């Protein structure tokens, strides 16, 4: 093939390719982004969500490719049913400002598919022994992280925490960091300092 013929074919191919691309688009102003409402019409995150309770879960040991769904409350049974229809559901993250009083408030969590797990971030100490024991009755794979504002109010509370099988870690907002009051805690203890 002659060089002029090859060059002409290359130029013609480029012109045809550029014409198939269509006209250039003009810049558009950015559209405001609002979070989609949940099935109950509530916006996720809500106005009362604490910034430290809106986590991004990064787990180096978890090599699954899957979906993480986050709630700032315990989902309703119809929302759990919608989650069962979610392809590749790996984690359901619950960031709760208050403790559920009893197991009855947690029964919907048992409806989650077996291949997914629940990661719960709870704020404060359990208000009662029943509230701490309720998490032991949940039959789904469960991981609890407790975010507390200070040292435990009594040794009894620490004992209640030690009975919670799914409790993985306690994070205390204590500055300066001190294990005072946590001596009998049988879980890893971390400290959080928020700089504003």
Rounded to 10 degrees, the C-alpha dihedral 120/180/127/75 comes to -10
> pLDDT band at 3, cuts 50/70/90?
low
Which pLDDT score is estimated for 143? 94
Q: Which residues span the domain enclosing 174?
A: 38-191
Which pLDDT score is estimated for 155? 94
- Bridge-based pairing of strands 67-71 and 167-172 is unpaired
Which pLDDT score is estimated for 43? 42
Look at residue 185 and tell me if it is in a domain: yes
Look at residue 90 and tell me if it is in a domain: yes
> pLDDT band at 195, cuts 50/70/90?
confident
Look at residue 91 and tell me if it is in a domain: yes
Look at residue 153 and tell me if it is in a domain: yes
Number of structural domains, the chain? Answer: 1
Q: What percent of the chain has pLDDT over 70?
A: 67
Q: What is the mean pLDDT of residues 166-187?
A: 92
Q: What is the mean pLDDT of residues 159-184?
A: 93
Q: For the residues of 60-120, what is the DSSP string, one character each?
A: TT-----EEEEESSPPPHHHHHHHHTSTTEEEEEEEESS--SSGGGGGGGGGS-TT-EEEE
Asked if pLDDT for residue 86 goes beyond 60, the answer is yes
Q: Strand, helix or coil at 20?
A: helix
Which pLDDT score is estimated for 49? 47
> pLDDT band at 172, cuts 50/70/90?
very high
> pLDDT band at 190, cuts 50/70/90?
very high
> pLDDT band at 167, cuts 50/70/90?
very high
The CATH number given to whatever domain includes residue 156 is: 3.40.50
Which pair of tokens denotes residue 26? Answer: 């003009």
Look at residue 125 and tell me if it is in a domain: yes
> pLDDT band at 68, cuts 50/70/90?
confident
Cβ(144)–Cβ(164) below 8 Å: yes
Look at residue 144 and tell me if it is in a domain: yes
- 51 or 104, higher pLDDT: 104
Asked if pLDDT for residue 44 goes beyond 80, the answer is no
Which pLDDT score is estimated for 115? 86
Look at residue 22 and tell me if it is in a domain: no
Look at residue 187 and tell me if it is in a domain: yes
Q: Could you report the per-residue pLDDT of 145-157, keeping only the tens digit for each?
A: 999 999 999 999 9
Cβ(142)–Cβ(160) below 8 Å: no
Q: What is the mean pLDDT of residues 29-49?
A: 45
């Amino acid at each position: 093939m002659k060089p002029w013929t090859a060059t002409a074919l290359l130029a013609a191919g480029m012109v045809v390719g550029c014409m198939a691309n269509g006209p250039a688009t003009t810049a558009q102003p950015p559209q405001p982004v609002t979070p989609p409402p949940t099935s109950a019409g509530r916006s996720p995150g809500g106005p009362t969500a604490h910034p430290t309770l809106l986590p991004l879960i990064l787990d180096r040991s978890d090599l699954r490719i899957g979906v993480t769904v986050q709630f700032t409350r315990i989902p309703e049974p119809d929302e759990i049913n919608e989650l069962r229809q979610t392809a590749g559901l790996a984690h359901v993250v619950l960031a709760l400002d208050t403790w559920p009083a009893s197991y009855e408030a947690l029964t919907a969590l048992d409806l989650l598919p077996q291949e997914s797990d629940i990661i719960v971030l709870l704020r404060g100490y359990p208000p009662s022994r029943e509230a701490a024991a309720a998490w032991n009755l949940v039959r789904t794979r469960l991981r609890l992280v407790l975010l507390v504002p200070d040292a435990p109010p009594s040794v009894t509370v620490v004992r209640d925490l030690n009975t919670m099988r799914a409790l993985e870690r306690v994070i205390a907002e204590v500055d300066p960091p001190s294990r005072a009051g946590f001596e009998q805690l049988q879980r890893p203890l971390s400290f959080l300092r928020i700089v504003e």
